A and B are shown apart, each in its own frame.
Chain A
Amino acid sequence: MNQAFFIQLAVSGVAVAAMVGLAAWANIARPVQPLDEARARQLLAEEFPERTLEGLWVAVDGLGAVAKSRAMALVLCRLGDGYVARQIPWAQALAASFKDGRISIDLADVAAPRAVIALDAWPPKGPQGELAA
Protein backbone atom coordinates (compact mmCIF):
# COMPACT_ATOMS: atom_id res chain seq x y z
CA MET A 1 0.00 0.00 0.00
CA ASN A 2 1.37 3.37 -0.92
CA GLN A 3 0.28 6.97 -0.55
CA ALA A 4 -1.55 6.89 -3.89
CA PHE A 5 -3.71 4.04 -2.65
CA PHE A 6 -4.84 5.97 0.39
CA ILE A 7 -5.45 9.10 -1.67
CA GLN A 8 -7.58 7.05 -4.04
CA LEU A 9 -9.44 5.53 -1.09
CA ALA A 10 -10.08 8.95 0.44
CA VAL A 11 -11.30 10.42 -2.84
CA SER A 12 -13.54 7.39 -3.34
CA GLY A 13 -14.92 7.94 0.17
CA VAL A 14 -15.82 11.51 -0.69
CA ALA A 15 -17.43 10.29 -3.91
CA VAL A 16 -19.46 7.71 -1.97
CA ALA A 17 -20.73 10.42 0.37
CA ALA A 18 -21.66 12.59 -2.61
CA MET A 19 -23.51 9.76 -4.36
CA VAL A 20 -25.45 8.86 -1.21
CA GLY A 21 -26.35 12.53 -0.78
CA LEU A 22 -27.46 12.68 -4.40
CA ALA A 23 -29.63 9.57 -3.93
CA ALA A 24 -31.24 11.18 -0.88
CA TRP A 25 -31.89 14.39 -2.79
CA ALA A 26 -33.31 12.55 -5.79
CA ASN A 27 -35.96 10.89 -3.64
CA ILE A 28 -36.42 8.02 -6.08
CA ALA A 29 -37.01 5.16 -3.70
CA ARG A 30 -40.01 2.94 -4.40
CA PRO A 31 -43.22 4.59 -3.26
CA VAL A 32 -44.40 2.60 -0.24
CA GLN A 33 -47.81 3.05 1.35
CA PRO A 34 -48.42 1.96 4.93
CA LEU A 35 -49.57 -1.64 5.06
CA ASP A 36 -53.24 -2.40 5.17
CA GLU A 37 -54.66 -5.87 5.63
CA ALA A 38 -54.97 -6.58 1.91
CA ARG A 39 -51.40 -5.53 1.17
CA ALA A 40 -50.07 -7.46 4.17
CA ARG A 41 -51.88 -10.57 2.99
CA GLN A 42 -50.48 -10.10 -0.52
CA LEU A 43 -46.91 -9.76 0.73
CA LEU A 44 -47.24 -12.73 3.06
CA ALA A 45 -48.68 -14.80 0.23
CA GLU A 46 -45.63 -13.95 -1.88
CA GLU A 47 -43.23 -14.83 0.93
CA PHE A 48 -45.03 -17.88 2.29
CA PRO A 49 -47.17 -19.23 -0.55
CA GLU A 50 -47.72 -22.56 1.18
CA ARG A 51 -49.15 -21.05 4.33
CA THR A 52 -52.69 -20.07 5.23
CA LEU A 53 -53.30 -17.34 7.76
CA GLU A 54 -55.39 -17.94 10.85
CA GLY A 55 -54.94 -14.44 12.18
CA LEU A 56 -53.33 -11.22 11.00
CA TRP A 57 -52.37 -8.18 13.03
CA VAL A 58 -51.21 -5.17 11.04
CA ALA A 59 -49.08 -2.52 12.74
CA VAL A 60 -50.96 0.66 13.64
CA ASP A 61 -48.38 2.66 11.70
CA GLY A 62 -48.52 0.26 8.75
CA LEU A 63 -44.83 -0.61 9.00
CA GLY A 64 -45.23 -4.29 9.71
CA ALA A 65 -47.52 -7.16 10.51
CA VAL A 66 -47.66 -10.43 12.39
CA ALA A 67 -49.70 -13.39 11.23
CA LYS A 68 -50.43 -16.76 12.78
CA SER A 69 -50.21 -19.86 10.64
CA ARG A 70 -50.61 -23.06 12.64
CA ALA A 71 -47.68 -23.20 15.04
CA MET A 72 -45.74 -20.49 13.26
CA ALA A 73 -45.73 -16.72 13.35
CA LEU A 74 -45.14 -14.93 10.07
CA VAL A 75 -43.47 -11.62 10.68
CA LEU A 76 -43.33 -8.81 8.16
CA CYS A 77 -41.47 -5.59 8.75
CA ARG A 78 -40.45 -2.64 6.67
CA LEU A 79 -36.81 -2.02 5.77
CA GLY A 80 -36.12 1.03 3.65
CA ASP A 81 -38.62 0.90 0.83
CA GLY A 82 -39.01 -2.88 0.99
CA TYR A 83 -40.15 -5.53 3.39
CA VAL A 84 -38.44 -8.35 5.22
CA ALA A 85 -40.26 -11.51 6.22
CA ARG A 86 -39.43 -14.31 8.61
CA GLN A 87 -41.28 -17.20 10.13
CA ILE A 88 -40.63 -18.21 13.71
CA PRO A 89 -42.41 -20.46 16.19
CA TRP A 90 -45.62 -18.84 17.39
CA ALA A 91 -44.54 -19.32 20.99
CA GLN A 92 -41.43 -17.28 20.25
CA ALA A 93 -43.58 -14.44 18.92
CA LEU A 94 -45.89 -14.67 21.93
CA ALA A 95 -42.88 -14.25 24.19
CA ALA A 96 -41.99 -10.92 22.55
CA SER A 97 -41.72 -7.98 24.89
CA PHE A 98 -44.45 -5.36 24.58
CA LYS A 99 -43.65 -1.83 25.66
CA ASP A 100 -44.94 1.61 24.66
CA GLY A 101 -47.25 0.11 22.07
CA ARG A 102 -44.55 -1.87 20.32
CA ILE A 103 -43.58 -5.49 20.33
CA SER A 104 -39.96 -6.36 19.90
CA ILE A 105 -39.68 -9.83 18.43
CA ASP A 106 -36.40 -11.70 18.64
CA LEU A 107 -36.12 -13.34 15.20
CA ALA A 108 -33.07 -15.38 16.23
CA ASP A 109 -31.42 -14.60 12.90
CA VAL A 110 -28.12 -12.76 12.56
CA ALA A 111 -29.32 -11.39 9.21
CA ALA A 112 -32.54 -10.05 10.69
CA PRO A 113 -32.07 -9.92 14.43
CA ARG A 114 -35.24 -8.18 15.59
CA ALA A 115 -38.59 -6.93 14.37
CA VAL A 116 -40.24 -4.00 16.12
CA ILE A 117 -43.92 -3.65 15.31
CA ALA A 118 -46.43 -1.15 16.66
CA LEU A 119 -49.58 -2.92 17.86
CA ASP A 120 -52.43 -1.97 20.16
CA ALA A 121 -51.88 -4.97 22.39
CA TRP A 122 -49.84 -8.12 22.71
CA PRO A 123 -50.49 -11.04 22.91
CA PRO A 124 -53.23 -10.52 20.35
CA LYS A 125 -56.86 -11.44 20.66
CA GLY A 126 -58.64 -13.60 18.11
CA PRO A 127 -61.91 -12.68 16.39
CA GLN A 128 -63.92 -13.87 19.39
CA GLY A 129 -61.71 -12.09 21.85
CA GLU A 130 -59.84 -15.20 22.88
CA LEU A 131 -56.10 -15.18 23.29
CA ALA A 132 -54.47 -16.26 20.02
CA ALA A 133 -52.13 -18.73 21.63
Chain B
Amino acid sequence: MKATIDPVTLATPFFILTVILEIVLARFGKVEARYETKDTATSLTMGLFSTLSGLPVAGLSFAAAVWIYQHRLFDIPMTAVWAWVAVFLLEDLTYYWFHRISHERRVWWAAHVNHHSSQHYNLSTALRQTWTGGVAGTWALWLPLSFLGFPPAMVAIQKGVSLVYQYWIHTEAIRRLPGWFEAVMNTPSHHRVHHARNPRYLDKNYAGILIVWDRLFGTFQPELDEEPCRYGLVHNLGTFNILRVAFHEWIGIAADIVRAPRHLPGWVFGPPGWSPDGSRDTSASLKAAWQARQGAVPSAPEREAGLLPQQRQAET
Protein backbone atom coordinates (compact mmCIF):
# COMPACT_ATOMS: atom_id res chain seq x y z
CA MET B 1 0.00 0.00 0.00
CA LYS B 2 1.37 3.43 -0.93
CA ALA B 3 0.78 6.37 1.37
CA THR B 4 0.15 9.87 0.06
CA ILE B 5 3.63 10.65 1.29
CA ASP B 6 5.87 7.76 0.26
CA PRO B 7 9.28 8.04 1.94
CA VAL B 8 10.79 5.47 -0.42
CA THR B 9 9.80 7.40 -3.52
CA LEU B 10 11.04 10.62 -1.96
CA ALA B 11 14.34 8.97 -1.08
CA THR B 12 15.00 7.45 -4.52
CA PRO B 13 17.27 10.33 -5.67
CA PHE B 14 19.18 9.92 -2.39
CA PHE B 15 19.59 6.19 -3.11
CA ILE B 16 21.01 6.91 -6.56
CA LEU B 17 23.34 9.67 -5.43
CA THR B 18 24.75 7.68 -2.52
CA VAL B 19 25.40 4.58 -4.63
CA ILE B 20 27.30 6.81 -7.07
CA LEU B 21 29.15 8.43 -4.17
CA GLU B 22 30.11 5.07 -2.63
CA ILE B 23 31.43 3.77 -5.97
CA VAL B 24 33.41 6.93 -6.73
CA LEU B 25 34.89 7.19 -3.23
CA ALA B 26 35.84 3.50 -3.32
CA ARG B 27 37.39 3.97 -6.76
CA PHE B 28 39.70 6.59 -5.34
CA GLY B 29 40.42 4.61 -2.20
CA LYS B 30 38.59 6.92 0.18
CA VAL B 31 36.18 4.31 1.54
CA GLU B 32 36.00 0.54 1.71
CA ALA B 33 33.51 -0.83 -0.82
CA ARG B 34 33.53 -3.55 -3.44
CA TYR B 35 31.27 -3.55 -6.49
CA GLU B 36 31.23 -6.35 -9.05
CA THR B 37 29.50 -5.27 -12.25
CA LYS B 38 27.10 -8.19 -12.78
CA ASP B 39 26.30 -8.35 -9.08
CA THR B 40 25.51 -4.63 -9.08
CA ALA B 41 23.34 -5.00 -12.17
CA THR B 42 21.43 -7.84 -10.52
CA SER B 43 20.85 -5.91 -7.30
CA LEU B 44 19.71 -2.73 -9.00
CA THR B 45 17.46 -4.50 -11.49
CA MET B 46 15.83 -6.44 -8.67
CA GLY B 47 15.21 -3.10 -6.95
CA LEU B 48 13.85 -1.46 -10.08
CA PHE B 49 11.27 -4.16 -10.79
CA SER B 50 10.34 -4.72 -7.16
CA THR B 51 8.29 -1.54 -7.45
CA LEU B 52 6.24 -3.17 -10.22
CA SER B 53 5.96 -6.59 -8.65
CA GLY B 54 4.33 -5.21 -5.52
CA LEU B 55 1.46 -3.62 -7.42
CA PRO B 56 -0.80 -6.68 -7.91
CA VAL B 57 -1.17 -7.21 -4.16
CA ALA B 58 -1.14 -3.52 -3.23
CA GLY B 59 -4.89 -3.20 -3.75
CA LEU B 60 -5.63 -6.23 -1.60
CA SER B 61 -3.37 -5.13 1.25
CA PHE B 62 -4.81 -1.61 1.10
CA ALA B 63 -8.36 -2.90 1.17
CA ALA B 64 -7.57 -5.21 4.07
CA ALA B 65 -5.97 -2.39 6.08
CA VAL B 66 -8.91 -0.05 5.44
CA TRP B 67 -11.43 -2.75 6.38
CA ILE B 68 -9.55 -3.56 9.58
CA TYR B 69 -9.28 0.16 10.37
CA GLN B 70 -13.04 0.49 10.07
CA HIS B 71 -13.27 -1.97 12.98
CA ARG B 72 -10.53 -0.29 15.02
CA LEU B 73 -10.33 -0.32 18.79
CA PHE B 74 -9.24 3.29 19.25
CA ASP B 75 -9.14 6.55 17.35
CA ILE B 76 -5.49 7.49 17.07
CA PRO B 77 -4.86 10.94 15.55
CA MET B 78 -2.20 11.28 12.86
CA THR B 79 -1.42 14.75 14.15
CA ALA B 80 -0.32 13.74 17.67
CA VAL B 81 3.38 13.39 18.44
CA TRP B 82 2.72 10.55 20.85
CA ALA B 83 0.95 8.67 18.08
CA TRP B 84 4.04 8.89 15.85
CA VAL B 85 6.26 7.75 18.70
CA ALA B 86 3.91 4.83 19.29
CA VAL B 87 3.68 3.83 15.64
CA PHE B 88 7.46 4.10 15.34
CA LEU B 89 7.96 1.61 18.18
CA LEU B 90 5.14 -0.76 17.22
CA GLU B 91 6.01 -0.76 13.53
CA ASP B 92 9.63 -1.48 14.35
CA LEU B 93 8.59 -4.33 16.64
CA THR B 94 6.36 -5.69 13.87
CA TYR B 95 9.25 -5.42 11.44
CA TYR B 96 11.49 -7.41 13.78
CA TRP B 97 9.04 -10.33 13.83
CA PHE B 98 8.30 -10.07 10.12
CA HIS B 99 12.02 -10.23 9.45
CA ARG B 100 12.55 -13.07 11.87
CA ILE B 101 9.90 -15.32 10.34
CA SER B 102 11.22 -14.33 6.93
CA HIS B 103 14.43 -16.10 7.92
CA GLU B 104 13.05 -18.91 10.04
CA ARG B 105 10.20 -20.25 7.87
CA ARG B 106 10.88 -21.37 4.33
CA VAL B 107 7.78 -19.97 2.63
CA TRP B 108 8.66 -16.47 3.80
CA TRP B 109 12.37 -17.05 3.29
CA ALA B 110 11.50 -17.78 -0.35
CA ALA B 111 10.31 -14.19 -0.66
CA HIS B 112 13.22 -12.71 1.28
CA VAL B 113 16.18 -14.85 0.16
CA ASN B 114 16.98 -12.74 -2.88
CA HIS B 115 17.86 -9.80 -0.64
CA HIS B 116 20.62 -11.95 0.85
CA SER B 117 21.80 -13.52 -2.38
CA SER B 118 24.63 -11.11 -3.17
CA GLN B 119 28.14 -12.04 -2.10
CA HIS B 120 28.71 -8.32 -1.71
CA TYR B 121 27.60 -5.86 0.89
CA ASN B 122 27.24 -2.36 -0.44
CA LEU B 123 24.50 0.19 -0.98
CA SER B 124 23.31 -1.58 -4.11
CA THR B 125 22.67 -4.68 -2.01
CA ALA B 126 20.07 -2.70 -0.07
CA LEU B 127 18.12 -2.25 -3.28
CA ARG B 128 18.08 -6.00 -4.08
CA GLN B 129 14.46 -6.18 -3.01
CA THR B 130 11.89 -8.95 -3.19
CA TRP B 131 9.51 -9.51 -6.08
CA THR B 132 7.31 -11.90 -4.16
CA GLY B 133 6.83 -10.27 -0.77
CA GLY B 134 3.25 -9.35 -1.62
CA VAL B 135 2.14 -12.86 -2.51
CA ALA B 136 3.93 -14.21 0.56
CA GLY B 137 1.36 -12.29 2.56
CA THR B 138 3.65 -10.89 5.24
CA TRP B 139 1.94 -7.52 4.86
CA ALA B 140 -0.80 -9.01 7.04
CA LEU B 141 1.52 -8.73 10.04
CA TRP B 142 0.99 -4.97 10.01
CA LEU B 143 -2.82 -5.20 10.06
CA PRO B 144 -3.03 -5.27 13.88
CA LEU B 145 -1.67 -1.72 13.91
CA SER B 146 -4.68 -0.58 11.89
CA PHE B 147 -6.93 -2.61 14.19
CA LEU B 148 -5.45 -0.74 17.14
CA GLY B 149 -6.43 2.50 15.43
CA PHE B 150 -3.40 3.75 13.57
CA PRO B 151 -4.58 5.09 10.21
CA PRO B 152 -3.35 2.85 7.35
CA ALA B 153 -1.56 5.81 5.76
CA MET B 154 0.33 6.42 9.00
CA VAL B 155 1.45 2.80 9.13
CA ALA B 156 2.48 2.91 5.47
CA ILE B 157 4.53 6.07 6.02
CA GLN B 158 6.31 4.52 9.00
CA LYS B 159 7.02 1.36 6.98
CA GLY B 160 8.59 3.58 4.34
CA VAL B 161 10.65 5.44 6.93
CA SER B 162 11.94 2.09 8.21
CA LEU B 163 12.89 0.95 4.71
CA VAL B 164 14.73 4.20 4.03
CA TYR B 165 16.55 3.94 7.37
CA GLN B 166 17.68 0.42 6.52
CA TYR B 167 19.13 1.53 3.21
CA TRP B 168 22.18 3.37 4.52
CA ILE B 169 23.28 0.55 6.83
CA HIS B 170 24.14 -1.67 3.84
CA THR B 171 27.72 -0.53 3.63
CA GLU B 172 31.25 -1.51 4.59
CA ALA B 173 32.33 2.12 4.33
CA ILE B 174 31.22 2.80 7.93
CA ARG B 175 32.92 0.54 10.44
CA ARG B 176 31.62 1.42 13.92
CA LEU B 177 29.51 4.30 15.22
CA PRO B 178 29.57 5.78 18.74
CA GLY B 179 28.84 3.24 21.48
CA TRP B 180 25.49 4.69 22.52
CA PHE B 181 24.30 4.57 18.91
CA GLU B 182 25.48 0.99 18.40
CA ALA B 183 23.70 0.06 21.64
CA VAL B 184 20.29 1.32 20.56
CA MET B 185 20.17 1.61 16.79
CA ASN B 186 20.64 -0.80 13.94
CA THR B 187 23.95 0.11 12.32
CA PRO B 188 26.13 -0.96 9.39
CA SER B 189 28.12 -3.16 11.77
CA HIS B 190 25.05 -4.93 13.15
CA HIS B 191 23.54 -5.41 9.72
CA ARG B 192 26.78 -6.74 8.21
CA VAL B 193 26.42 -9.57 10.71
CA HIS B 194 22.86 -10.14 9.52
CA HIS B 195 24.04 -10.52 5.91
CA ALA B 196 26.94 -12.81 6.79
CA ARG B 197 26.95 -16.55 6.09
CA ASN B 198 29.46 -17.46 8.78
CA PRO B 199 27.70 -20.01 11.04
CA ARG B 200 28.28 -17.79 14.07
CA TYR B 201 26.39 -14.97 12.39
CA LEU B 202 23.44 -16.89 10.90
CA ASP B 203 19.93 -15.73 11.86
CA LYS B 204 21.07 -12.78 13.94
CA ASN B 205 20.26 -9.07 14.09
CA TYR B 206 16.78 -8.93 12.57
CA ALA B 207 16.24 -5.33 13.60
CA GLY B 208 14.83 -2.66 11.36
CA ILE B 209 15.69 0.59 13.12
CA LEU B 210 16.17 -0.31 16.79
CA ILE B 211 18.64 -3.09 17.61
CA VAL B 212 17.11 -3.29 21.08
CA TRP B 213 14.59 -5.87 19.82
CA ASP B 214 17.42 -8.31 19.08
CA ARG B 215 18.91 -7.66 22.49
CA LEU B 216 15.49 -8.26 24.06
CA PHE B 217 14.65 -11.43 22.15
CA GLY B 218 18.11 -13.02 22.23
CA THR B 219 19.08 -12.71 18.59
CA PHE B 220 21.78 -10.06 18.93
CA GLN B 221 25.30 -10.82 17.74
CA PRO B 222 28.02 -8.15 17.62
CA GLU B 223 30.40 -8.04 14.68
CA LEU B 224 33.73 -9.51 15.73
CA ASP B 225 36.95 -8.18 14.26
CA GLU B 226 38.45 -11.65 14.50
CA GLU B 227 35.74 -13.09 12.26
CA PRO B 228 35.18 -10.99 9.14
CA CYS B 229 31.78 -11.34 7.56
CA ARG B 230 31.48 -13.55 4.49
CA TYR B 231 28.38 -12.38 2.68
CA GLY B 232 25.68 -14.21 0.82
CA LEU B 233 23.78 -17.43 1.29
CA VAL B 234 24.79 -20.67 2.95
CA HIS B 235 24.65 -22.12 -0.58
CA ASN B 236 25.44 -19.18 -2.81
CA LEU B 237 23.70 -18.74 -6.13
CA GLY B 238 25.61 -20.03 -9.14
CA THR B 239 24.07 -17.58 -11.55
CA PHE B 240 23.26 -13.92 -12.09
CA ASN B 241 20.06 -14.87 -13.96
CA ILE B 242 17.58 -12.51 -12.39
CA LEU B 243 14.62 -14.89 -12.70
CA ARG B 244 16.54 -17.56 -10.82
CA VAL B 245 17.53 -14.98 -8.21
CA ALA B 246 13.89 -13.97 -7.74
CA PHE B 247 12.21 -17.36 -7.82
CA HIS B 248 14.72 -20.12 -7.04
CA GLU B 249 13.47 -20.87 -3.55
CA TRP B 250 9.83 -20.93 -4.67
CA ILE B 251 10.79 -23.40 -7.40
CA GLY B 252 12.70 -25.41 -4.83
CA ILE B 253 9.64 -25.59 -2.57
CA ALA B 254 7.44 -26.67 -5.48
CA ALA B 255 9.95 -29.34 -6.54
CA ASP B 256 10.14 -30.71 -3.01
CA ILE B 257 6.35 -30.86 -2.70
CA VAL B 258 6.04 -32.69 -6.02
CA ARG B 259 8.76 -35.13 -4.95
CA ALA B 260 7.34 -35.81 -1.46
CA PRO B 261 3.88 -34.26 -1.06
CA ARG B 262 3.18 -35.83 2.32
CA HIS B 263 5.90 -33.63 3.79
CA LEU B 264 4.25 -30.45 2.49
CA PRO B 265 3.94 -28.77 5.92
CA GLY B 266 7.66 -29.23 6.52
CA TRP B 267 8.68 -28.11 3.05
CA VAL B 268 6.57 -24.95 3.37
CA PHE B 269 6.69 -24.02 7.04
CA GLY B 270 9.86 -25.73 8.20
CA PRO B 271 13.05 -23.74 8.55
CA PRO B 272 15.03 -23.14 5.35
CA GLY B 273 17.03 -26.29 4.65
CA TRP B 274 14.57 -28.56 6.43
CA SER B 275 14.23 -32.07 5.04
CA PRO B 276 12.44 -35.16 6.38
CA ASP B 277 15.69 -37.09 6.84
CA GLY B 278 17.74 -34.15 8.07
CA SER B 279 20.14 -34.52 5.16
CA ARG B 280 20.18 -30.82 4.31
CA ASP B 281 21.73 -27.92 6.16
CA THR B 282 19.63 -25.66 8.36
CA SER B 283 20.94 -22.71 10.33
CA ALA B 284 20.60 -24.78 13.49
CA SER B 285 22.57 -27.74 12.11
CA LEU B 286 25.27 -25.48 10.72
CA LYS B 287 25.59 -23.67 14.03
CA ALA B 288 25.70 -26.94 15.94
CA ALA B 289 28.46 -28.29 13.70
CA TRP B 290 30.37 -25.03 13.99
CA GLN B 291 30.06 -25.03 17.76
CA ALA B 292 31.23 -28.61 17.92
CA ARG B 293 34.32 -27.62 15.94
CA GLN B 294 34.93 -24.63 18.16
CA GLY B 295 34.82 -26.61 21.40
CA ALA B 296 34.37 -24.53 24.51
CA VAL B 297 37.06 -21.98 23.81
CA PRO B 298 35.56 -18.49 23.97
CA SER B 299 36.72 -15.85 21.53
CA ALA B 300 38.80 -12.89 22.74
CA PRO B 301 35.88 -10.40 22.67
CA GLU B 302 33.69 -12.90 24.48
CA ARG B 303 36.35 -13.35 27.16
CA GLU B 304 36.57 -9.56 27.48
CA ALA B 305 32.79 -9.38 27.76
CA GLY B 306 32.94 -11.95 30.53
CA LEU B 307 30.62 -14.35 28.74
CA LEU B 308 30.53 -17.85 30.11
CA PRO B 309 30.38 -20.72 27.64
CA GLN B 310 26.70 -21.39 28.29
CA GLN B 311 25.88 -17.72 27.73
CA ARG B 312 27.84 -17.80 24.51
CA GLN B 313 25.94 -20.91 23.53
CA ALA B 314 22.67 -19.09 24.10
CA GLU B 315 23.76 -16.07 22.10
CA THR B 316 25.12 -17.92 19.13
On A, residues with C-beta under 8 Å from B are 1, 8-9, 12-13, 15-16, 18-20, 22-30, 46, 49-50, 77, 79-86, 107, 109-115
Contact = CB atoms under 8 A, between A and B. Distances in A.
A49 B197 CA distance: 14
Contact of A111 (B26, B230, B248): B248
B35 to A, nearest CB: 4
Given A28-B27, A79-B240, A16 B48 contact: yes
B41 interface: yes
Interface string B7-51: 001001000100110011011000001111111110011011001
A9 B238 contact: no
B239 interface: yes
Contacts of B249: 111
Nearest to A19: B19
A1 B51 CA distance: 11
Given A13-B48, A19-B44, A82 B119 contact: yes
Identify the 10 closest CB pairs spanning chains A and B, nearest first: A112-B238, A26-B27, A82-B119, A29-B36, A111-B248, A23-B35, A84-B238, A23-B40, A16-B44, A80-B36
B16 to A, nearest CB: 5
A80 B238 CA distance: 10
Nearest to A112: B238
11 contacts: A16-B47, A19-B20, A28-B27, A29-B37, A30-B36, A50-B289, A84-B238, A86-B238, A110-B244, A111-B248, A111-B249
Contacts of B184: none
